Structure 1
Amino acid sequence: MTENILNQKKILFIGVKFYHYHQEVIHKLTKDYCSSVTYFPERDTSIKYGIVNRLAPNMLESYQEYYYKKILSKIKEKKFDYFLVIRGFQMPLWFVQKVKELNPGLKTINYQWDSNTNSPFIDVDSKINILPEFDAKFSFDYKDVKEHDDIEYCPIFYTDEIKKIGMAPRPADYEYDLFYFGSYLPERYKGLLRFIEYAEQNNIRLKTYFYMPIRYYLIERLKGAKIDWKLIKFKPMNRKEYINLFLKSKAIVDVSNEKQTGMAMRVIDVLGSGKKLVTTNKWIKNDEIYDEKQIHIIDINNIEIPKYFLLDQTVHQPKEISNLDNWIRKIFAID
């Protein structure tokens, strides 16, 4: 049995506060790996940050400086064995260096689940150029890994509740052929319209849930964007409903962010649940997990889904490489 090197270790974790995923990481590290985790979001998540970001973006750097000084005051008397950063938006270089200084022998890990194109972290301003300070560097983005030898590829993870879907018996039939789920990006809205049209023309049972915060909707409308409000949901889908619709759907649709090449969360959930995937992400074809019986790559401007793809009854097992346990073992170098 592999030794649990994280047993009784103290981990400082600073990362994106994204839905429930940061909580899943903390729960897994504490419950299954017996670690002690001190967590802080990578930025202030109060309304104050939103005001500064929207109305005074030139003050964002000083605001983040203030935020990290507050974090340092809370942790300076503590000792840590590991320092895990997921993304690290506008994290000051001095902060990383100070954490290392206060914790001799500290093992440092940086994981990027956004691309350098979408959220720059490589060769940025010297005040926030933190990446060289880390012992281990990982990214979910195929292109970033290909272009930078010091960054290792590691896909995002799926959670245990997704794994349960993959292990459960498959129904004889599904309520929906395709489930189109996502948050607003111009290319995703375009994809939504195309899929609705394609489903109607090909007698495909399509379920959609397209989330867009009301403020973004109003801003886009003021900019002149044509968005049919009847196709939009102004409240994010709760996790229970998401899981329920996953169970009812034969295949999941992924219209990828054009500024990223890595596999999105919904793609990882597909691999963990054993569902079929229809995606615009051509990079996935070069991944070892690619299986043409499970994954169909499309051109959003000319959608074509072969009938056999949805009719095929092959049972696809969950891809273990992408589960949360393996993600932890990868980034913490647990052999």
Structure 2
Amino acid sequence: MRSLSGKTILFFCPTFFNYEQEIKKALEDFGATVIWYDDRPSNNFYSKAVIRVNKNFLKNKIRRYYNEILDKNKDQKFDYLFFVNPESISVEILTKMQGLFPDAKRILYMWDSFKNRKQNLELLPLFNSMYTFDREDSISYNLKLRPLFYINTYGKKEDSSPKYELLFVGTAHSDRYTFVKKFCESNKLNNVKLYFYLNSVLLFFLKKLFDSSFKKVRYEDVSFTSLSHSEISSMMQQSKIVLDINHPKQIGLTMRTLETLGMQKKLLTTNKDILNYDFYNPANILLVERESPLLTEEFQKIPFEPLDLGTLFKYSISGWVSEIFELI
């Protein structure tokens, strides 16, 4: 396997549960020098909301932000310009970047579907190499399919007696809350650990007003403090089964799916595309229907079948970097 020793990477990625720092560290572990910037000029609630609706409303602020970055780095020689799930970069700025660093390979990785990030479609002609976590997008837009990854925190731990029958940890979006409540009730699960997260109280009340799927969500069931990866990993270690609920508008595998794989725990998922992956094993993974989710007794009783080291590496963050930077 080749390394990135001697290579310099200008890396843009929105701040997202510290994954941007984990990616930076993984690139550095391969020998690269990495300069990271948040893709967004600001992470306050207003800026993030406006950028997601239409980034052109903050066009001048975004332009100033990127011009400052380019002025600061204009004398650098970069081997790669690496963008992960960009939200605010424009064709204008990316074209300027291309002119400043003509020898740098431009790589794009999307961990959202273009159904949720339509603004990014105009950027595609400006990249040399493009990857997505979503199989449908890979076919529709001729991108390479590469699932997400798990970080080292989610490596397999020593076996211990499970404290919980079922664990769900995730952002309270779409139909997740109602699905989880319905699932636990219909399968008569009591010994469960549930953690619904939102990043602001304001967002909670806006969703209550404007999102019909959020009407039944109780304030006391939602936390506004995000968990660390160590805390989530500890919860997963104490759980027999992990529940994953994909966004209805995308079929890419979630981080939770790959983290469950890394920890070699049983997975329940609503994502039908799981059947198409090389690690799918009915002893370890149960696909459940959104409309009538059923946890079978057979799945609960059958032992977990350990994964081989090659598969574990492939879906680790090191395997992810290796594939995207063509080191293998």
Tell me the TM-score normalised to structure 1 length: 0.89
1:184-217 superposed Cα distances (whole Å, 9 cap, x missing partner): 1131011122123134x2x552111111231122
What are the within-5 Å matches in structure 2 for residues 140-289 of structure 1?
140-149=133-142, 151-163=143-155, 166=156, 168-171=157-160, 173-199=161-187, 201=188, 203=189, 205-212=191-198, 213-223=200-210, 225-289=215-279
In structure 1, how many angstroms separate the alpha carbons of the residues matched to 2:197 and 2:239? 19
Q: How far off is 1:103 after superposition?
A: 2.3
- Compared CA separation, residues 131 and 53, structure 1 to 2 (3 A): closer
User: 1:114 Cα shift?
Assistant: 0.5
SS in structure 2 opposite 1:59?
helix
The 1:55/1:88 distance shift into structure 2, 3 A limit, reads closer
Change (3 A) 1:280 1:331: same
Shift of 1:78: 1.3
Say whether the 8 Å CA contact 1:209–1:232 is kept in structure 2.
yes
Distance 1:312 1:29, change over 3 A: same
Name the SS for the 2:118 alignment partner: coil
- How far did residue 285 of structure 1 move? 0.9
Which runs of no fewer than 5 residues in structure 2 stay unpaired?
Answer: none
CA RMSD of aligned residues (A): 2.2
Q: Distance in 1 between matches of 2:32 and 2:205?
A: 45
Q: 1:153: how far off?
A: 0.5
- The answer on 1:132 being equivalent to 2:125 is yes
Q: What is the distance in 1 between the residues matched to 2:55 and 2:317?
A: 35
Letter in 1 for 2:35: T
Q: Distance in 2 between matches of 1:323 and 1:56?
A: 34
Mean Cα displacement is larger for which, 63-72 or 302-311? 63-72
What percent identity do the matched residue pairs reach?
27
Q: Distance in 2 between matches of 1:130 and 1:320?
A: 31
Query: Which residue of structure 1 lines up, in the alignment, with residue 2 of structure 2?
Result: 3
What is the CA-CA distance between 1:147 and the residue it aligns to?
1.9
Mapped to 2, the partners of 1:130 and 1:54 lie a distance apart of 16
Moved over 3 A (4+): 50-58
- TM-score if structure 2 supplies the norm length? 0.90
Letter in 1 for 2:275: K
- Cα pair 1:179 1:251 within 8 Å, conserved: yes
CA distance in 1, matches of 2:266, 2:53: 43
Deviation per CA, 1:266-303: give whole Å up to 9, x if none. Answer: 11101111111101101111122211111111112211
The separation in 2 between residues aligned to 1:119 and 1:130, in whole angstroms, is 11
Cα 1:3–1:192 change in 2 (3 A) is closer
Q: Which runs of 5+ in 1 are unaligned?
A: 124-128
Tell me by how many angstroms 1:101 deviates: 2.1
Q: Would the aligned equivalents of 2:178 and 2:216 in 1 still touch at CA under 8 Å?
A: no
- How much does 1:122 deviate? 5.6
Per-residue Cα deviation, 1:100-156 (whole angstroms, up to 9, x for no partner) = 222232111110110010112564xxxxx221111110000111012232x000011
SS at match of 2:223: coil
**Pairwise CA distance, 1:238:** 2.7
> Any conservation in 2 of the 1:177–1:250 contact (CA below 8 Å)?
yes
- Per the TM alignment, residue 325 of structure 1 is displaced from its structure 2 partner at its CA by 0.8
